[in-house]
C-alpha cells in the first residue's frame, strides 16, 4: 500500500494512540517508533514504555522535556505578554512546536519515513503538528489516522482493541472523565461533554488544579518574583529553574483559586469551540510581567510591543512557531527585555492576582518628577502649555474650517 517503512508516533499510551500503533502496523505494514514527551502533564509517562512493548514496538523514546518546554517556549511567549482573543494563554498551542521538533529529530535519528499523531481532523493540533514538521523537514510524510480511518467513536476504538488484543488498561484508578483533556506545565484544558453547550456552567468537580475562588483561603498569599531579562529566575529570593518556577506558581495559584477560564474561541480550521482552561501559574506570570515592564520599558517601546502582540499570539495559536514572522517578532520582543529586571510583589486572593509592589535598578520611574509635592524644579509645569497647544494645532485649524462640529 505504501513505501513507508518506519513511522514515529507521538504516543501517550492512552486509548487513541495505542489503537494507532496497531492500525499503523496493519494498514501501512510498517515499523512504529513511539515518542512520549513529559512536558509536565502530571501523569506518569514511564508506563507508556510497557504498553508500547506489548504492542511490539522496538524503538521507544520517553523524554523529559519540562525544562526545555518552559525555558525555550513558555518563557519566550510570556515575554510578549501573549494572550489570544483577549483571554486564552495558549497552553496547548505552545506545546505543539516542541513535540513536532522532537518527532522530526527522532525521525532523523531512526531513519523513519513518516511521523504520525493522534490529533483529530476537526482541531487545531493537526495543523500545529504538521506545520512544525514541514517547517523542519519539508519532505516528511505525515499520517493522521483520524483523517483516514472510520474509528470515529470511543465504542469503535474499544471494539478495535478487543478484536486486536490491544493490552491497554482504560479503567485506571480514577473514574473516566467525560471531557477531552490536555495538560502540560502551563495549563490543563477541558473540551467536550456538557461544555459543548455554551450555556452550560462547568461542573465544579471538573477542575483539577484549582479550588474555586469561593473556597480559597480567607487570608491572602504574598510572593515576590525576581526577573532577569524578562524571565522569572527566583521566587521569594530562592533561585529556581524555569520548570520549577512554573510548577510552584501552579501550586500556589491553584491553592488560591487563580487561573480558571471559560471561553468560546475561534479555531484556525474555521469553527468556534468552547473550552475551559486552568492556567494558575501563567495567570500570575502575565500580571507580574506586565508590572515589571510598566516600570522599566520606555512608553513607545511598550506600546509598540503591545500592538504586535495580537499578531504574535495568532501566529502561535495557528501553528506558525517556526515561521519567519514569529522569529522576527520574537527578536523584536526579546530586544526589549534587556532592561526588564527587578522584583514584583503580588498578592494572591480568591482568584485574584493583585500587584502590590515593583522595584528595579532599571526603573524609569522618577519620583522627583512624578511627585505631587514640591519637585524642586525637576519639572517645569509651564512647559505643558506649549506642548498642549502644539498638539492641538491641527484640531484648531480644522475647527476654524468648521470640521469639528459635535
Report the share of the chain in percent with pLDDT over 90: 83
Same domain, 194 and 157: no
pTM above 0.85, yes or no: yes
Nearest to 231 by CA among 222, 218, 219, 244: 244
**Pick from 318, 197, 205: which is nearest to 267 by CA?**
318
CB 284 within 8 A of CB 346: yes
Q: At CA 324, angle to CA 321 and CA 326, rounded to 5?
A: 45
Helices (H), 145-274: 154-164, 242-255
d(CA 200, CA 76): 35
The one-character DSSP state at 33 is E
**Residues 198, 189: Cα–Cα separation, whole Å:** 16
- Per-residue pLDDT, 392: 95
Flag whether pLDDT at 173 surpasses 60.
no
274 and 195 in contact (C-beta within 8 Å)?
Answer: yes
Determine, yes or no, domain membership for 187. Answer: yes
Burial label for 257, CB within 10 Å (0-12, 13-18, 19+), is buried
Q: Is the pLDDT of residue 181 over 80?
A: yes
Per-residue pLDDT at 169 exceeds 70: no
Model confidence band, residue 376 (pLDDT cutoffs 50, 70, 90): confident
Q: How many CA atoms lie within 13 A of 143 on its CB side?
A: 26
Query: Which one-letter DSSP state was computed for residue 202?
Result: P
Q: Minimal CA–CA distance to 183: which of 286, 38, 8?
A: 38
Query: How much is the pLDDT for 176?
Result: 62
Instruction: Give the mean pLDDT of 109-121.
Output: 95
Contact between 11 and 35 under an 8 Å Cβ cutoff? The reply is yes
Q: What is the pairing mode between strands 342-349 and 352-359?
A: antiparallel
Task: Output the average pLDDT for the chain.
Answer: 94
Is the confidence at residue 175, as pLDDT, over 80? no
Three-state SS at 406:
coil
User: Using CA atoms, how far apart are residues 195 and 274, in angstroms rounded to an integer?
Assistant: 6
The answer to whether residue 132 scores a pLDDT higher than 90 is yes
Q: Which residues are bridge partners to 234 per DSSP?
A: 226, 239
Answer for the pair 177, 14: CB distance below 8 angstroms, yes or no.
no
| Residue 171, pLDDT score | 46
Do 170 and 51 touch, CB atoms closer than 8 A?
Answer: no
Q: Domain check: are 194 and 263 in the same one? A: yes
H helix or E strand, kind and range, residue 299? helix 299-317
- For residue 97, being part of any structural domain is answered with yes
Residue 200, pLDDT score: 96
- Calpha distance 177→362 (Å, rounded): 48
On whether residue 378 sits in a domain, the answer given is no
Task: With a cut of 50, say whether residue 250 has pLDDT above it.
Answer: yes
Is the pLDDT at 372 greater than 90? The verdict is no
CB atoms < 10 A from the CB of 85, how many? 13
Residue whose C-alpha cell reads 518563557 in the numeric block: 75
Residue 239 maps to a domain: yes
- Residue 304 φ/ψ, nearest 5 degrees: -65, -40
Nearest to 335 by CA among 229, 236, 238: 229
pLDDT of residue 174: 47
DSSP category for residue 358: E
From CA 211, how far away is CA 351, in angstroms rounded?
Answer: 9
Asked if residue 172 has pLDDT above 60, the reply is no
Give pLDDT, residue 214. 97
Residues 36 and 158 in one domain: yes
Average pLDDT of 316-339?
A: 98
4 vs 153, which has greater pLDDT? 4
Q: Structural domain of residue 33, as residue ranges?
A: 6-66+91-164
Query: Do both 155 and 270 map to the same domain?
Result: no
Q: Give yes or no: residues 18 and 134 share one domain.
A: yes
Whether residue 201 sits in one domain with residue 54: no
Domains: count for the chain: 2
Residue 328 inside a domain? The answer is no
Query: With bands split at pLDDT 50, 70 and 90, how would you rate the model's confidence at 80?
Result: very high
Residue 80 inside a domain? The answer is: no
**Strand-pair category, 59-64 with 31-38:** parallel
Residues 212 and 119 in one domain: no
Residue 116, pLDDT score: 97
3-state helix, strand, coil in the chain (%, to 5): 45, 20, 35
CATH, residue 259: 3.90.1260.10
Residues catalogued as catalytic: 16, 96, 125, 180
Sequential DSSP letters for 307-320 = HHHHHHHHHHHTT-
pLDDT more than 70, % of the chain: 97
Within-domain flag for 280: yes
Is residue 218's pLDDT more than 60?
yes
Same domain, 155 and 184: no
Query: If you ran DSSP here, which 8-state letter would residue 10 be given?
Result: E
Same domain, 41 and 141: yes
User: If you average pLDDT over residues 137-148, what whole number do you get?
Assistant: 96
Amino acid at each position: 500500500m505504501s513505501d513507508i517503512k518506519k513511522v514515529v508516533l507521538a504516543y501517550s499510551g492512552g486509548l487513541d494512540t495505542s489503537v494507532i500503533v496497531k492500525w499503523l502496523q496493519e494498514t501501512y505494514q510498517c515499523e512504529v517508533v513511539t515518542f512520549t514527551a513529559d512536558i509536565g502533564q502530571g501523569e506518569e509517562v514511564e508506563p507508556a514504555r510497557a504498553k508500547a512493548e506489548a504492542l511490539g514496538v522496538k524503538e521507544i523514546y520517553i523524554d523529559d522535556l519540562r525544562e526545555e518546554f518552559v525555558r525555550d517556549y513558555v518563557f519566550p511567549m510570556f515575554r510578549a505578554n501573549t494572550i489570544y482573543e483577549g483571554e486564552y494563554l495558549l497552553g496547548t498551542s505552545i506545546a505543539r512546536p516542541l513535540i513536532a521538533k522532537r518527532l522530526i529529530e527522532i525521525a532523523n535519528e531512526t531513519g523513519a519515513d513518516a511521523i504520525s499523531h493522534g490529533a483529530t481532523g476537526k482541531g487545531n493540533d493537526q495543523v500545529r503538528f504538521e506545520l512544525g514538521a514541514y517547517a523542519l523537514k519539508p519532505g516528511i510524510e505525515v499520517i493522521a489516522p483520524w483523517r483516514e480511518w472510520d474509528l470515529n467513536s470511543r465504542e469503535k476504538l474499544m471494539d478495535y482493541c478487543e478484536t486486536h488484543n490491544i493490552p491497554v488498561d482504560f479503567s485506571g484508578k480514577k473514574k473516566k472523565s467525560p471531557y477531552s483533556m490536555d495538560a502540560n506545565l502551563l495549563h490543563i484544558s477541558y473540551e467536550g461533554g456538557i461544555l459543548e453547550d455554551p450555556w452550560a456552567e462547568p461542573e465544579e468537580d471538573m477542575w483539577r488544579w484549582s479550588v474555586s475562588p469561593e473556597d480559597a483561603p480567607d487570608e491572602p498569599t504574598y510572593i515576590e518574583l525576581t526577573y532577569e531579562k524578562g524571565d522569572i529566575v527566583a521566587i521569594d529570593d530562592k533561585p529556581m529553574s524555569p520548570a520549577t518556577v512554573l510548577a510552584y506558581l501552579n501550586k500556589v495559584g491553584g491553592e488560591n483559586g487563580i487561573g480558571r477560564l471559560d471561553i468560546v474561541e475561534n479555531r484556525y480550521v474555521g469553527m468556534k469551540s468552547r473550552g475551559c482552561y486552568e492556567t494558575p501559574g501563567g495567570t500570575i506570570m502575565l500580571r507580574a510581567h506586565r508590572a515589571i515592564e510598566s516600570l522599566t520599558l520606555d512608553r513607545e517601546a511598550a506600546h509598540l510591543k503591545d500592538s504586535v502582540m495580537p499578531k504574535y499570539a495568532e501566529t502561535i495559536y495557528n501553528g506558525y512557531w517556526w515561521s519567519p514572522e514569529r522569529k522576527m517578532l520574537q527578536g523584536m520582543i526579546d530586544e526589549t527585555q534587556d532592561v526588564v529586571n527587578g522584583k514584583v510583589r503580588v498578592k494572591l486572593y480568591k482568584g485574584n492576582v493583585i500587584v502590590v509592589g515593583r522595584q528595579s535598578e532599571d526603573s524609569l520611574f522618577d519620583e522627583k518628577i512624578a511627585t505631587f509635592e514640591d519637585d524642586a524644579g525637576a519639572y517645569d509645569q509651564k512647559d505643558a502649555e506649549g506642548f498642549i497647544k502644539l498638539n492641538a494645532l491641527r484640531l484648531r485649524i480644522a475647527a476654524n474650517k468648521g470640521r469639528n462640529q459635535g
